[in-house]
Chains A and B, each alone.
Chain A
Amino acid sequence: MSVITLQVDGRDVAVPAGSTLLQAIRAAGLSVPTLCHLDGLDPVGACRLCLVEVEGGQRLLPACASEASEGQVIRTDTAQLQGYRRMAVELFFAEGNHVCAFCVANGQCELQDVAVAVGMDHSRFPYQYPQRSVDASHRHFSLDHNRCILCTRCVRVCDQIEGAHVWDVAERGSDCRIVAGLDQPWGEVEACTSCGKCVDVCPTGALYANEDTTAEKHPHPERAHQLRRAREHQQWLR
Chain B
Amino acid sequence: MARTVVIDPVTRIEGHAKITLQLDDDGHLVDSRFHVVEYRGFETFCEGRPFTEMAGITARICGICPVSHLLAAAKTGDKLLAVQIPAAALKLRRLLNLAQITQSHALSFFHLSSPDFLLGWESDPARRNIFGLMAADPELARAGIRLRQFGQQILELLGGRKIHAAWAVPGGVRSPLSLEARDWILARLPEAQATIRLALELHKRLLDGPLQQEQRLFGSFPSLFMGLVTPEGLWEHLEGQLRFRASDGTIVADGLREDDYASFLAEAVEPWSYLKFPYYRPLGYPDGMYRVGPLARLNVCDRIGTPWADRELTEFRQRSGQVAISSFAYHHARLVEIVACLEAIATLVEDPELMHGRVRCRASLNHHEAVGVSEAPRGTLFHHYRVDDDGLLTKVNLIIATGQNNLAMNRTVHQIARAYIPDPVPAGVEIPEALLNRLEAGIRCFDPCLSCSTHAAGQMPLAIRLVAADGRVLAERCRG
Residues of A within 8 A of B (CB): 101-102, 104, 133-137, 139, 142, 187, 210-216
Judge if B349 is at the interface, Cβ distance under 8 Å: no
**Assembly CA distance A133 to B392 (angstroms):** 10
Number of A-B contacts (CB under 8 A): 46
- Could you say which residues of chain B place their CB within 8 Å of the CB of A216? 174
- Could you say which residues of chain A place their CB within 8 Å of the CB of B60? 101-102
**Assembly CA distance A136 to B50 (angstroms):** 8
Are B48 and A213 neighbours in the complex by a CB distance under 8 Å? no
Taken residue by residue from 378 to 409, chain B's Cβ proximity to chain A (1 for < 8 Å, 0 otherwise) reads as: 00000000000011100000000000000000
Measured between C-beta atoms, what is the minimum distance from B310 to chain A in Å?
38
- Could you say which residues of chain B place their CB within 8 Å of the CB of A139? 364
Are B364 and A213 neighbours in the complex by a CB distance under 8 Å? no
Among A133, A213, A216, the one with the most B-chain Cβ atoms within 10 Å of its Cβ is A213
Are A211 and B57 neighbours in the complex by a CB distance under 8 Å? no
Extra pairs beyond A211-B52, A213-B52 (6, CB < 8 Å): A133-B48, A134-B48, A134-B49, A187-B390, A211-B362, A214-B53
- Could you say which residues of chain B place their CB within 8 Å of the CB of A135? 390
325-362 of chain B: CB within 8 A of chain A:
362
Measured between C-beta atoms, what is the minimum distance from B208 to chain A in Å?
47
Are B164 and A101 neighbours in the complex by a CB distance under 8 Å? yes
Are A102 and B57 neighbours in the complex by a CB distance under 8 Å? yes
**Assembly CA distance A101 to B60 (angstroms):** 8
Are B50 and A134 neighbours in the complex by a CB distance under 8 Å? yes
**Assembly CA distance A101 to B164 (angstroms):** 9
Measured between C-beta atoms, what is the minimum distance from B58 to chain A in Å?
9
**Assembly CA distance A214 to B89 (angstroms):** 18
Dominant secondary structure at the A interface: loop
Pick the contact of A101 from B56, B174, B391, B392 — CB < 8 Å?
A: B56
Given known contacts A102-B57, A142-B50, is B362 in contact with A210 (CB within 8 Å)? no
Measured between C-beta atoms, what is the minimum distance from B342 to chain A in Å?
30
**Assembly CA distance A184 to B171 (angstroms):** 30
Judge if B147 is at the interface, Cβ distance under 8 Å: no
Are A213 and B392 neighbours in the complex by a CB distance under 8 Å? no
Judge if B80 is at the interface, Cβ distance under 8 Å: no
140-185 of chain B: CB within 8 A of chain A:
164, 166, 169-170, 174
**Assembly CA distance A136 to B48 (angstroms):** 10
Are B390 and A136 neighbours in the complex by a CB distance under 8 Å? yes
**Assembly CA distance A142 to B166 (angstroms):** 20
Pick the contact of B52 from A101, A137, A210 — CB < 8 Å?
A: A210
Pick the contact of B55 from A187, A210, A211, A213 — CB < 8 Å?
A: A213
The contact sample of 20 A-B pairs, CB cut-off 8 A, is A101-B56, A102-B53, A102-B56, A102-B59, A102-B60, A102-B166, A104-B53, A133-B48, A134-B48, A135-B390, A136-B50, A210-B50, A211-B362, A211-B364, A213-B53, A213-B55, A213-B56, A214-B53, A214-B55, A216-B174
- Could you say which residues of chain A place their CB within 8 Å of the CB of B50? 134, 136, 142, 210
- Could you say which residues of chain A place their CB within 8 Å of the CB of B174? 216
Are B364 and A210 neighbours in the complex by a CB distance under 8 Å? yes
